[in-house]
Amino acid sequence: MNTYHLELNEVDDIIPELANHFGTIYTENLGEFTLNLPETIGEGEIKVINFPNGIGLHTYHVSFKNDTQLRLSHLQVKPIRFIYCIEGNLGSSFGNNEERDSVEEHEYLIAAPKEMETHNLIIPGNEKVMLCYLEIDRSKFQKYFSFNLDELEPIFYELFSDEKATTRISEKSSFSLKTAESIKDIRNTEITGFPRVNFIGAKALEILSYMLSRFKKDDQNAQNKKLKEKDMKAIEKAVEHIDANIANTGTVNDLSKLVGVNTNKLQEGFQVIFGKTVNEYIRDIRLTKALNVLSTGNKNVSEVVYELGLSSRSYFSKIFKEKYGISPRKVLSRKPIAQKVRENKIDN
């Protein structure tokens, strides 16, 4: 196993430290750090961005040639991590303790080392691993609260109040497809520049919200009684099919046959995870895609309706306005701000 001991003084140190250990370079743009693995170590990339509210978003899309251990040692910040495994698996341990938690696909771990203790992330070699974790500086995070910390529910107070890291935390929870959807939004976005930074910041808060909600539900032993792992896998497969075939998703019955569960179980799963029926979920995905396409101004309303597999332009306009409070035609007629600025400069 290749082991890298990373001594981190500041939250932005991890990518430079990794680059130094790997013998490679990294890039930074508007606070977002990106490191591509050198061929001698593996393939893939690691991205990190930290925000003023004390939340850092770390995403790994990697395949190491050998088992790899990252021993994270924070000399000043006392972080707590919400680690979500999208694909593959990840090991987590503390200090020199050989006992480790294993985080499998669509599980997540809330982990925090004690004072002067390393937090070790173990990534298996020769395996595609995708993970995302939020690293929260508890001291800085508290300063953004608009209320006193002791007003938090006890389950959350225990997580965020230990600024001096007197207690080790290692709490594992299971499937959360909402979290996976938010992470996918970050990976798939075509937004660039400063708007991208704001988009990622909003998504980081969204991911934290989903993780905390799931953690609370699991603590109450509610969610995990409703859906079995097999059903969760089926819903995940249905979501992937919808995303890849938005113009021709098929009926709910078609989807249930494709993923191997009955229609009632599929509908139940979508209600539990997304709070929507299958058709409501498909509708909202289509509307989100429609808004993105129309905002670019590259396609007209009829082209968008056809691209999304809808048969009625009037129906599309109706549900679009119900969701966004504006008609598709008005979205299309609005010029992007950047274009208006350019035109104003020409006129002046």
Confidence of residue 346 (pLDDT cuts 50, 70, 90): very low
Residues 193, 30 contacting (CB under 8 angstroms): yes
* Average confidence (pLDDT) over 324-345: 59
The answer to whether residue 341 scores a pLDDT higher than 60 is no
Q: What is the DSSP letter of 40?
A: T
CA distance 71 to 114: 14
Q: Which of 132, 127, 80, 81 is nearest to 106 (CA)?
A: 132
Higher pLDDT, 326 or 110: 110
Q: What is the pLDDT of residue 214?
A: 76
Residue 90, pLDDT score: 93
Rg (CA), the chain: 22
Q: Identify the band that residue 344 occupies on the pLDDT scale cut at 50, 70 and 90.
A: very low
**pLDDT of amino acid 37:** 96
Q: Decide yes or no: CATH 3.30.360.10 for domain 227-333.
A: no
- Confidence at 223, pLDDT banded by 50, 70, 90: very low
- Give the max Cα distance, the chain: 69
Q: Which residues pair with 169 in a beta bridge?
A: 112
**Taking all residues of the chain, what is their mean pLDDT, rounded to a whole number?**
84
**Whole-number pLDDT of residue 75:** 81
Q: Is residue 33's pLDDT more than 90?
A: yes
Q: What is the pLDDT of residues 128-169, one digit of tens each?
A: 999 999 999 988 888 888 787 777 887 788 888 888 888 888
pLDDT at residue 5 tops 90 = yes
For residue 64, give the H/E element and its range.
strand 55-64
What DSSP assignment string belongs to 111-148? EEPPTT--EEEEE-SSS-EEEEEEEEEHHHHHTT-SS-
Q: What confidence tens digit (pLDDT) does each residue in 227-244 have? A: 677 777 888 888 889 888
pLDDT per residue over 89-135, tens digit each? 999 999 887 788 888 888 888 999 988 899 999 999 999 999 999 99
Which pLDDT belongs to residue 337? 40
Buried b (16+ CB within 10 A) or exposed e, 297-326: eeeebeebbeebebeeeeebeebbeeebee
State how far the Cα of 127 lies from the Cα of 114, in Å rounded to an integer. 30
Higher pLDDT, 332 or 111: 111
Distances (CA, A) of 244 to 173, 248, 249, 308: 28, 9, 9, 11
Q: How is 191-257 classified by DSSP, letter by letter? A: --HHHHHHHHHHHHHHHHHHHHHHHHHHHTT-GGGT--HHHHHHHHHHHHHHHHTTT----HHHHHH
Mean pLDDT within 13-18? 94
Return the CATH class of domain 2-219: mainly beta
How confident is residue 83, by pLDDT bands cut at 50, 70 and 90?
very high
**Mean pLDDT, residues 196-219 taken together:** 83
Give dist(CA 192, CA 207) in Å, integer: 20
Please tell me the least confidently modeled range out of 106-115, 207-216, 257-266: 207-216
All CATH 2.60.120.10 domain ranges of the chain, comma separated, are 2-219
Rounded to an integer, the average pLDDT of 26-46 is: 94
pLDDT at residue 31, rounded to an integer? 92
Q: Does pLDDT of 339 surpass 70?
A: no
Confidence of residue 17 (pLDDT cuts 50, 70, 90): very high
347 falls in which pLDDT band (50, 70, 90)? very low
Give the CA-trace dihedral at 127, 235, 308, 195, to 10 degrees. Answer: -60
What does the DSSP 8-state code read for residue 275?
S
**Which residues on neighbouring strands pair with residue 171, listed in sequence order?**
110
Q: Please, where in the chain does CATH 1.10.10.60 lie?
A: 227-333
